[in-house]
Amino acid sequence: MSSFSLNKWWHLVGKEIKQISDHHTLEGQPNKTIFRDYLIKDLGVKEESVVDISQKSNMFRIQYKDIYYNIFIEHTDGGGADQRITPSRYNKRVCIPSINAFWKLINNYERALVINIYCPLNEDLTPNWENRVYCIIKPNVIQDYKFKENKRKKKGNPSSRWVNLLGIQEIIKEKDKNYNLNRKENIYLVNWEKLTEFFNETLAYQYISMFNQKHEEFAIKVLDKTEEKLEDKVVSAERRLFRALLITNGRGIKCEIINCRINLEKILIASHIRPVNLIKKDTKLSREEKLKQISDCNNGFLFCRNHDALFDKFLITFKEGKIVASSDVEKVIDTFNLNLDNVVLEIKNQETINYLQYHQKLFAERNDMKFL
C-alpha cells in the first residue's frame, strides 16, 4: 500500500486500494452516455424506450417492469476529499445533482433516482467495467426537505453522500450478495450482476412507497380542509402526485384511451373515478375510508384533457371497457376519437370496476338514463 500523499487519489486498482496520480479519466467525464448505456444494458431496457428529460445524456426516463423511473446518472468522484482524508477511509462521493432539470422534478413533487457507477481500475489503470458497482442513493433521502432548503439558501452541497472503497471492494468479492449499504445507510452498493434483482426486490417497492406516502400527505390536507380554506397549491400538488402515482404504478405516460395518441406528461390528467369532493361529502364513509379512496390508484385513470373533461363531467362512462355516452356526446363521438362499439379502455382489476359502478350510477342520474 502506498503511503498517503496530498497529491494522489485513492482508487481500487486490481485487488487493492491504491493511490494514483490523478482522479482518473472517468471522474468528470463530460460524455455521460457511457454510464447510461451500461445501466440500460444491465437492466435489459431497450434503447428506444429511453427518454431524455434534460437535453443531457445523464438525465433520462426509462420504463422497467411497468414502472417509470426518472434517473440521474454519473460516476463517483473524489470530491476533493481524496487529498485530505486519512488513508483509513478511502471515500468516494456520490452527489445529488445541482442541475435545474433535476430540481424542477423534485419541486414539482415528481421523483428521481440518483445513481453513480464506480468503475475499478486494472493494473494498467484502464477501466475494469467487468467489476462495476452501482451506488444508488435511497430514494427517500433525495426528498429530504433540508436538502432543498440548503440548496435554496446556497449552503454548498450538503446533499453529497460518501461511499467507502472498502465497501465497494466487499461487494465485488461477494457476488452472491444482493446489495450492501454505506456507513450512514443511505446509499446502496450493488454489483452490476445483481442490478435487476435489486430493482425487482428492493428499489421498486421503495420508489412506489415514496409516491404513496407523499400523495397521502396531500390527500390528508385535502380531506381535512373545507373547500373555502383549501389552497389552490394544495389541490394542484395532490393532482400532480396522483398523476405521478398512476404513472409509477404502470399506467404509462399516455392517455389510457386505447386509440388516443396523447403522451405528453404535462397535459395528462389523473382523473379520479369517484370524485374527491363527493368522497369528502359521503357521511357513510369513515375518515380512514375517505383517505383510502382519495389515495387509491385504482380510483383513477390517466386521460388527456378532452377525455378527462368528458369523464369528469359525467358525459361518458365505461362498462366492460366500452364507452357509454350521453346523447349529446353520442352525436359527435368521432370528434373525440372514440368508438361506441369497441373496447377503448383496459380495466385492470376488480377495485377499479367497483369505483366505476359508482361513476356509472351518477352518469345515469345526471343524464336521465337507465344504465344497463
Query: In whole angstroms, what is the distance from residue 335 CA to residue 341 CA?
Result: 15
Query: In whole angstroms, what is the distance from residue 10 CA to residue 21 CA?
Result: 9
Q: What is the DSSP letter of 343?
A: B
Give Cβ neighbours of residue 322 (< 8 Å, ≥ 6 apart). Answer: 340, 341, 342, 343, 344
E strands in the chain: 9-13, 16-20, 51-52, 59-64, 67-75, 91-94, 113-118, 133-137, 161-164, 180-181, 187-191, 269-272, 300-303, 316-319, 322-325
What is the rounded end-to-end Cα distance, in angstroms, of the chain? 80
Q: Is the pTM of this model over 0.85?
A: no
Taking 70 as the threshold, does the pLDDT of residue 136 lie above it? Answer: yes
Q: What is the pLDDT of residues 151-179, one digit of tens each?
A: 544 444 545 678 889 999 999 988 777 78
pLDDT bin (cut points 50, 70, 90) of residue 36 is: very high
Taking 50 as the threshold, does the pLDDT of residue 5 lie above it? Answer: no
pLDDT at 99: 80
* Amino acid of residue 219: A
Taking 60 as the threshold, does the pLDDT of residue 310 lie above it? Answer: yes
Better pLDDT: 176 or 336: 336
Q: What is the pLDDT of residues 241-250, one digit of tens each?
A: 888 888 877 7
Percent of the chain with pLDDT over 70: 84
Q: What is the mean pLDDT of residues 331-340?
A: 90
Instruction: Please give the mean pLDDT across all residues of the chain.
Output: 83
Taking 90 as the threshold, does the pLDDT of residue 257 lie above it? Answer: yes
Q: What is the mean pLDDT of residues 105-113?
A: 78
Q: What is the pLDDT of residues 278-306, one digit of tens each?
A: 998 899 989 889 888 988 889 999 999 99
pLDDT at 54: 81
